[in-house]
Chains A and B, each alone.
Chain A
Amino acid sequence: AQKVTQAQTEISVVEKEDVTLDCVYETRDTTYYLFWYKQPPSGELVFLIRRNSFDEQNEISGRYSWNFQKSTSSFNFTITASQVVDSAVYFCALSVHGSGNTGKLIFGQGTTLQVKP
Chain B
Amino acid sequence: GAVVSQHPSWVICKSGTSVKIECRSLDFQATTMFWYRQFPKQSLMLMATSNEGSKATYEQGVEKDKFLINHASLTLSTLTVTSAHPEDSSFYICSASPLRTEAFFGQGTRLTVV
A65 contacts across to B, CB distance below 8 A? none
Of B33, B100, B103, the residue contacting A105 (CB under 8 A) is B103
A106 contacts across to B, CB distance below 8 A? 46
Of A50, A91, A100, A105, the residue contacting B46 (CB under 8 A) is A105
Q: Tell me the B residues contacting A by CB distance below 8 Å.
A: 1, 32-34, 42-46, 49, 91, 93, 95-97, 99-108, 110
In the complex formed, the residue of A with least CB distance to B6 is A44
- Contact B43 A108, beta carbon cutoff 8 Å: yes
In the complex formed, the residue of A with least CB distance to B33 is A103
Secondary structure call for the A interface: loop
B33 contacts across to A, CB distance below 8 A? 103
B102 contacts across to A, CB distance below 8 A? 33, 35, 47, 50, 102
Contact with B along A39-56 (1 / 0, CB 8 A): 000111101001000000
Alpha-carbon distance between A106 and B95 when the two chains are bound, in angstroms? 13
Q: Of A101, A106, A108, which is in contact with the most chain B CB atoms at under 10 Å from its CB?
A: A101
- Contact B107 A44, beta carbon cutoff 8 Å: yes
Alpha-carbon distance between A101 and B44 when the two chains are bound, in angstroms? 18
Lowest 4 CB-CB distances: which A-B pairs, in order?
A103-B97, A45-B105, A103-B103, A50-B102
B49 contacts across to A, CB distance below 8 A? 104
- Contact A103 B96, beta carbon cutoff 8 Å: yes
Extra pairs beyond A101-B99, A104-B49 (12, CB < 8 Å): A37-B105, A42-B107, A43-B93, A43-B110, A44-B105, A44-B107, A45-B108, A100-B99, A100-B100, A101-B32, A103-B96, A105-B44
